[in-house]
Structure 1
Amino acid sequence: MNGDWLLRGRDGRLSLYRLSGDHVLCRAESVPSGAWDAPRRIGGEQRLHPVLAVGQGADHYAHLVSWRPTVDGESGLVHSTHFRPALAALDWSPIGHPNKKGRVTGPPAVAVDAQGRAHVFVRNKGGGLSMVAQKEKGGWDPWRDLKGQGLHEDLAAVSTRAGLVEVYGTVPDGIACWRQPEPGARPVPGDTLRVPVRPGTLRALATSEAHVTVFFTDESGDLCAWRSGAEPVVLLPAAGPGPVAAVGCELEGLPCTLLAQRAKSGRVVFAAYPAEQESAGAWWTESGEPVEPDARVALAEDGAGRVVAATLSPASGELRLTRRKAEPGLALEAWRLL
Structure 2
Amino acid sequence: MVRTVNGDWLIRARDGRLGVYATRDEAVWCRAERRPGGGTWLPWRKVGGDQRLHPGLAVGHGADGYAHLVSWRPTKAKEAGLAHSTHFRVHLAALDWSAVGHPDRTGARTGIPAVAVDAEGRAHVFVGNRGNGVHALIQKERGGWNAWSGLTGSDVHEELAAVTGESGRVELYGTNPDGILRWLQEEAGAPPVPADPLPVRVEPGTLSALSTSKEHTTLFFADPEGMLYAWRPDTDPTPLLAAAGPGPAALLRCTLDGHDCTLLAQRSASGRVAFAACPTEQESAGLWWTESGPQLPVGTAVALAEDADGRIVAATVTPDGELRIARQKDEPGLALAAWQEV
Structures share fold, TM-score greater than 0.5? yes
2:281 matches 1:279: no
Shift of 1:318: 1.8
Mapped to 2, the partners of 1:12 and 1:306 lie a distance apart of: 12
Deviates most, 275-284 or 318-327: 318-327
For 2:53, what is the secondary structure of its paired residue? coil
Q: Which residue number corresponds to residue 96 of structure 1?
A: 101
Shift of 1:116: 0.1
Q: Which residue number corresponds to residue 25 of structure 2?
A: 21
The amino acid of 2:172's aligned partner reads V
Deviates most, 151-160 or 213-222: 213-222
Q: Report if the CA contact (8 A) 1:224-1:236 is conserved.
A: yes
Q: Which residue number corresponds to residue 113 of structure 2?
A: 108
Q: Which residue number corresponds to residue 6 of structure 1?
A: 10
User: 1:238-280 CA deviation, whole Å, 9 max, x = no partner?
Assistant: 0110000000000111110000001111111100000000110
Q: Which residue number corresponds to residue 324 of structure 1?
A: 328
Q: Report if the CA contact (8 A) 1:6-1:299 is conserved.
A: yes
TM-score under structure 1 normalisation?
0.98
Within the candidate set 196, 215, 229, 1:191 is matched to: 196
Within the candidate set 143, 146, 154, 2:148 is matched to: 143
The amino acid of 1:24's aligned partner reads V
Q: Which residue number corresponds to residue 291 of structure 1?
A: 296
The amino acid of 2:198's aligned partner reads L
Shift of 1:45: 0.5
Within the candidate set 132, 137, 149, 1:132 is matched to: 137
The amino acid of 1:257's aligned partner reads T
The amino acid of 1:313's aligned partner reads T
The amino acid of 1:319's aligned partner reads L
2:284 matches 1:268: no
Shift of 1:186: 2.0
The amino acid of 1:129's aligned partner reads V
Shift of 1:312: 1.2
For 1:101, what is the secondary structure of its paired residue? coil
Q: Report if the CA contact (8 A) 2:276-2:289 is conserved.
A: yes
Unaligned runs of 5+ in 1: none
Shift of 1:147: 2.3
> What RMSD in Å do the two structures reach over aligned CA positions?
0.8
The amino acid of 2:160's aligned partner reads L
Mapped to 2, the partners of 1:143 and 1:68 lie a distance apart of: 18
Mapped to 2, the partners of 1:329 and 1:39 lie a distance apart of: 32
Mapped to 1, the partners of 2:248 and 2:304 lie a distance apart of: 12
**Structure 1 runs (4+) greater than 6 angstroms displaced:** none
Mapped to 2, the partners of 1:161 and 1:178 lie a distance apart of: 16
Q: Report if the CA contact (8 A) 2:218-2:232 is conserved.
A: yes
Q: Report if the CA contact (8 A) 2:163-2:172 is conserved.
A: yes
Within the candidate set 334, 337, 340, 1:333 is matched to: 337
Mapped to 2, the partners of 1:161 and 1:300 lie a distance apart of: 17
The amino acid of 1:325's aligned partner reads K
Mapped to 2, the partners of 1:135 and 1:182 lie a distance apart of: 14
The amino acid of 2:98's aligned partner reads S
Q: Report if the CA contact (8 A) 2:17-2:33 is conserved.
A: yes
Mapped to 1, the partners of 2:160 and 2:271 lie a distance apart of: 26
Q: Which residue number corresponds to residue 260 of structure 2?
A: 255
Mapped to 1, the partners of 2:170 and 2:36 lie a distance apart of: 29
- Determine what percentage of the aligned residue pairs are the same residue: 61
Q: Which residue number corresponds to residue 89 of structure 2?
A: 84
Deviates most, 252-261 or 81-90: 81-90
Shift of 1:60: 0.8
Q: Report if the CA contact (8 A) 2:315-2:324 is conserved.
A: yes
The amino acid of 1:309's aligned partner reads A
Shift of 1:319: 1.5
Q: Report if the CA contact (8 A) 2:60-2:115 is conserved.
A: yes
Shift of 1:191: 2.1
Q: How many residues align?
A: 337
